[in-house]
Amino acid sequence: MTRELAKMIDHSILHPTLTDADLERECRVAAKYDVASVCVKPYMVKKATELLKGTDVLVGCVIGFPAGNSTIEVKVFETETACNDGAVEIDMVINIGKALSGEWDYIEKEIEAVTRACHKNGAIVKVIFETDYITRDEDKIRLCEICTRAGADYVKTSSGFGFVKSEDGKYSYTGATIPDLELMRKHSGPRVKVKAAGGVRTLDQLIAVREAGCSRSGATATAAIIEEAIKRFGNQ
């Protein structure tokens, strides 16, 4: 059970303040707990690939991150560069403004373009909806349908940085919720997997998203989650 849970985790190394020294430390954490992958910033891909050589931990990279505002051509270029640097998983943020405007043809075009670039380079693609901004169920369903048609490998809730400004000027963030994950699982094709991202910080939360239909989950609290799993389930 512990190994299965570890292989759900994409260990996130994405905060803007993280340095190369932090990358080395976090790659050691990822290797120690034998997670599915690390998810890193574009310039870190080469170094992460070197650090994780000889392990079973894959290297993933974010594209158009975190706001999704790059042009389609730039997202494709970023994708190809990341793949050339060693990434085998790509987490792309959709153009959030276009989705909120209902410009679904544009959204489908960009998801198709990045998916095509990933598959051409032997990588998989996870499409980030940013559910703190895309809040209407009908829009999330439409995105699941588009991802299914485009051949995307995963639909994913959040970037981890979709902060919403409240009336008092403070910013808050929710990330993955069980209702969103269940909705995304229900409305995505059978070949499309679901990734939870944002707010999964405990073993019980990881188990909950698994039960909601997720195959992967982003996490920064990887060590705490897996150490708790070892206590509860043992090392296997």
What is the b/e burial string over 93-104, where b = at least 16 CB atoms within 10 angstroms of the residue's CB? bbbbebbeeeee
Q: Which of 91, 132, 153, 180 is labelled catalytic?
A: 91
Element (H, E) at 155: strand 154-156
Is 132 labeled as catalytic in the residue annotation? no
Is 195 labeled as catalytic in the residue annotation? yes
Q: In angstroms, rounded to a whole number, what is the distance separating the alpha carbons of residues 155 and 149?
A: 12
CB 181 within 8 A of CB 207: no
Q: Which of 75, 140, 156, 193 is labelled catalytic?
A: 156
**Residue 224: partners with Cβ closer than 8 Å, 6 or more residues away:** 201, 202
Which two tokens mark 158? 């959040």
The residues that are catalytic are: 91, 156, 195
